[in-house]
Amino acid sequence: MEYPGILDTIGNTPIVQLKKVLPFEKPVVLAKLEFFGPGGSVKDRLALALIEDAERRGALKPGGTVVECSSGNSGIGVAMVAAVKGYRAIIVMADKNSKEKQDIIKAFGAELILTPKEAHPDDPNSNYNTAKRIAEEIEGAIYLDQFSNPANIEVHYRETAKEIWEQTNGELDFFFAGIGTGGTISGVAKYLKERNPKIKIFGVDIEGSVYSDYFYKKTMPEPRLCQVEGIGGDNLPENVRFEYFDELVMVSDKESFSWANKLCRTEGIFAGSSSGAVVAALVESAEILKDFKLGVSIFADSGYKYLSKQFSPEWMRAMGYAE
């Protein structure tokens, strides 16, 4: 008998109903708990898909090197998959991201390179350009590039969206997810819209990001630093497919951290700050949602990765977020 390995446990995450945290009873809102994956986030799916796509294309050879630019979760996923498959992994990440994420990446044996959080996307020292440069300098290395690699959208179209459709019997009429690289929300939205064009797609954005201004005004503001990790953007990745979105809801750092704490204390769901942002967006959209019946939201990662941030009372007070 052949038994599964750790990578076989990626996907098929559970869905639960939010029963206490939201200040309304209708519509019914379900949360897809992506932190049940082995690497603790939705990015496990991405990491495996991007690496196996590179293998199929012959771009990644045995003993090769994978390089990725990450806010932490995709870096963890890539480090985990690389450890299992025997690749060298180099993860480039801005220094604003949590120490927990940094330590997990190193625990899997990956090399971690931190870049200054203030670096503009066009700066040679930005995490994007640093990752590209490293991949070019190392023989046999490949830059996975979750921001423009179509395999990012494809895995969520093929797997995540199909799971949501089956778990709700296709009865959902709206969907909420944070917008980071764009892969999760774009892949799921594409699948759902093909099956029911009436399903409304709500993207969750964070103050300081350029996405909302571009979506509503077609302008590009100067990005500002935000503390929430994994959502928002300082440029326009190819995998952010605005044509699939109906609404973007912008929330603040403080709201995101506050609702992540409330989520933990009311629902017993220990999720990260981007999940708090999703809850904040649902609350902000209560008036719009009153005519809907059933929706699904993505809770991307675990609160264990933010013990030094929103789940630290000292950090919350120091940052001015404590209530």
Q: Which residue out of 32, 43, 200, 254 is catalytically annotated? A: 43
Per the structure block, which two tokens stand in for 213?
């201004």
In three-state form (DSSP H/G/I as H, E/B as E, the rest C), the secondary structure along 275-306 is HHHHHHHHHHCHHHHCCCCEEEEEECEEHHHH
Residue 168 in contact with residue 30, Cβ under 8 Å? Answer: yes
Helices vs. strands in the chain: H and E counts, helices first: 12, 10
Catalytic (active site) residue 293: no
The amino acid sitting at 8 is: D
Helix (H, G, I), strand (E, B) or coil at 17: strand
Beta strand 28-33 with 15-17 is antiparallel
Residue 237, token pair as written in the block: 């990745």
CB 40 within 8 A of CB 9: no
b (16+ CB within 10 A) / e for 192-227: bbeeeeebbbbbbbbbbbbbbbbbeeeeeeebeebb
Output DSSP code: residue 40: S
Residue whose pair of structure tokens reads 């012959």 in the numeric block: 58
In single-letter form, the type of residue at position 252 comes to: S
Three-class DSSP category at 88: strand
Active site (catalytic) residues: 43
